[in-house]
Chains A and B, each alone.
Chain A
Amino acid sequence: MSTPKAMQQSFALRFSSGAFLAFWCILAAFPIFWIAVMSFKSPVDAFAASPLDVIFGPATRANGDGLSVPDIVIGLIVLFFAIRWAFTRLPGLVRQYCPPGYLVLGWVFGAVLYAVSFILIFFGLLPLILSGLNSILGPLGTPVLGLTTEHYVAVWAENEFYRNFLNSMLVTAGVVTISLTVGTLAGYGLARSGSDLAFWLLILALVFRALPHSVLVAGYLPVFINSSEILRPIFGEGAPTLYGQPWAVIAVLVSINQPFTIWMLRSFFQNIPAELDEAARVDGCSHFQAFRRVIMPVMWPGVITTGLFSFLLGYNDFLVTSLLLDAQNQTMVPAIAGYFNRETTTTDQVEAVAAAVSITAPLFLLVMVFQRQIVSGLTAGAVKG
């Protein structure tokens, strides 16, 4: 497409626009990149005053932890091919070996298998080979880039961060599944009904969306703590105490998320032509049959996008989980607040950084894989007002 002459831009404008963009990209990525670098260094290096010391880590290198030039080169090559393979060959393999109709399950299985084998090769096999190689190479094999994984080992193994990880996964998986099941039905109903009631429900949902979560938690907390006494007349002696129960938190997060979910799914369902289910109705389907046979096969893009945002809500939540769960089944984000209280030495600080990076890594992967869906989800609500 050629731009008209009058629309062409002067060099200064193009340059400043490009410079601004570059500045923004550095600004956007720098804090995240920097904590990732810090988490791999010994405490002295991580909080060194000179940026070069933080990157190259002389103190870490002095401890004998580091990467030599061949390490870095081979590591990058393996990483490049691993990512390339994941984006080019993996989809084909999943489609080939997966029984039709179970594609989602196949993808989950494929992704887990890929992740496990990647970890085994990259962190198990590769260091073994490379350490042998380094001892042969002599001077070339001496480390140039300080790098240690001791903080990750400390966080995940000694501090049992994997428990928090499992709790996070449980809560997030619950939130995504239930909120999509309930939300899809409601979103479809709202999109296909033009009644005043539907309008008022949407407005009510908008008001609910604006509520600060602490207001709601102030309502739950006393009830949840005393729930075994309150529920005893109904459930008898076995009445549960809701405080500290992951499934109670799941129910709370699903409800808090519901206003957003139904708005978003409604706008996706409005994009599916109503003629589609009308045709099914003419052929003698009830509304539910039309939904199951006609709408469900075409609704997945919208559902996946909404699911991503539900995932983010459950995964990122701090306020609800920190107040309604106790220390035994804490999720990852509130658990990191536990580091504040004992963050006295710099080692503790770097361990907190490593925990923070561990929480961010899955989100990074998420953006990488689902960038298009996230963008479409952000614009879906807005462009239609």
Chain B
Amino acid sequence: MKFKTFAAFVGPSVFMMLLFIAAPLVSVFIQSFQVTQSVLEQVEVETCTPGFLTQTCTTEIKTVPVLGDDGKTITETRWVGLESYRNVLQMDKFWEAVGNGSWNDIMQIDFWRALRFTLSFTLLTLPLVIGVGLAIALAVNNAARTIRGPVIFISLLPFIITPVIGSLSIYWLFVGDGILTAMMERWTGTNISMFAQAWTIELLMYFYRVWHVAPFAFVIFYAGLQTVNMDTLESAVIDGASRWERLRHVIVPHLMPLIIFIALIHLMDCYRVFEEIVGFRSQAHVISLQWLTYDFMTPDDAGNRAISRASASAMLTMIGIVFLLVLPLRRTWRDHKGSAH
């Protein structure tokens, strides 16, 4: 295919990606070093109240935003260097807390709290998703042919459901007087509130994510199981391999590329954990990196959006993505060079 034809085919797609993905990245990078504020000026205001004999007048100096010709406040954009990063990272407080050796003090700082949750969420759900997905795939493969269709249908439901709605549906089961909380209270005889402390919320979030993603792993593993070489399996049986050994030495190595694929996709998606925070309404207890950026961008009570801090936290989030992708990309690059020669 000539370059010109290739460019004509890919052009629109590349243009959109450059305009809406690459360009915003650059602008976020620049914004993170800038601060946009409305220009303020100090005005002397004399206020008089009617009094006996004479008016009582007081003068005071007020800070008011400067209005432009069109009646809007004038804003100015300044370069502030790393100030926004400092505001997000709060390194002084962080080192102080490290100096005190106090883990709780570090967790008081939003960014470190978000980082801690995002990382433990990503790393803890990964083995669970792969394990549960593989278990379902093996069980379905074992089941009679007639029930496989309905089982796949039911399994797809948690995967396809809107993430916010999915986490809400679990939230409603456990909320104050929800059905499962009531059941647990009856069993244990104690008063349980699942959304009053951080660790129970986190537990429910892990559960939700495994519930939501395991079907994806299941479908892929199930497709992989159909292509397992029967001859190898039979020879393993002849060699006296037990069921467990066959799984360990024949089936899992066969599925290895799929496991890596799922792990990669799962790491990417989990690192962006966001909808759970909205669904479980856990802002007060548990937050994630992406939620932190989102929170900076939502207007506060005065209607201001902290764009520069949002940009700084977005750039910090990006650093994690780089770490996440370095290994797989190096591997792909080596494969590509290998196939070229």
Contact = CB atoms under 8 A, between A and B. Distances in A.
Interface string A366-383: 111001001100110111
Given A186-B9, A186-B14, A215 B28 contact: yes
A47 B177 CA distance: 6
Contact of A208 (B8, B17, B227, B317): B17
B177 A49 contact: yes
A327 interface: no
Q: How large is the interface on B (under 10, 10 to 19, 20 to 34, 35 or more residues)?
A: 35 or more
A360 B314 CA distance: 31
B297 A221 contact: yes
A25 B215 CA distance: 11
B302 interface: no
Given A255-B16, A337-B278, A216 B21 contact: yes
Contacts of A126: none
Interface in A339-381: 340, 349, 352-353, 356, 359-360, 363-364, 366-368, 371, 374-375, 378-379, 381
Contacts of A29: 154, 157
Interface in A15-55: 17-18, 20-21, 24-25, 27-29, 31-32, 34-35, 38, 47, 49-51, 54
A72 interface: no
Contact of B157 (A20, A32, A353): A32
Given A21-B143, A218-B311, A356-B169, A255 B151 contact: no
A382 B262 contact: yes
B274 interface: yes
Contacts of A165: none
A154 interface: no
A197 B6 contact: yes
B21 to A, nearest CB: 5
B10 A190 contact: yes
Given A20-B135, A255-B19, A382-B220, A318 B164 contact: yes
Contact of A223 (B27, B211, B298): B27
Interface of B: 1, 3, 5-6, 8-10, 12-14, 16-17, 19-28, 31, 36, 135-136, 138-140, 142-143, 149, 151-158, 160-166, 168-170, 172-173, 177-179, 182-183, 186, 211, 215-216, 219-220, 223-224, 227, 233-234, 237-238, 243, 257-258, 261-262, 268, 271-272, 274-275, 278, 281, 289-290, 293-294, 296-298, 305, 307, 310-311, 314-315, 317-318, 321, 324-325, 329, 332-333, 336
13 contacts: A18-B143, A32-B157, A47-B177, A189-B1, A189-B6, A206-B329, A219-B25, A219-B27, A258-B13, A288-B8, A318-B162, A336-B165, A371-B152
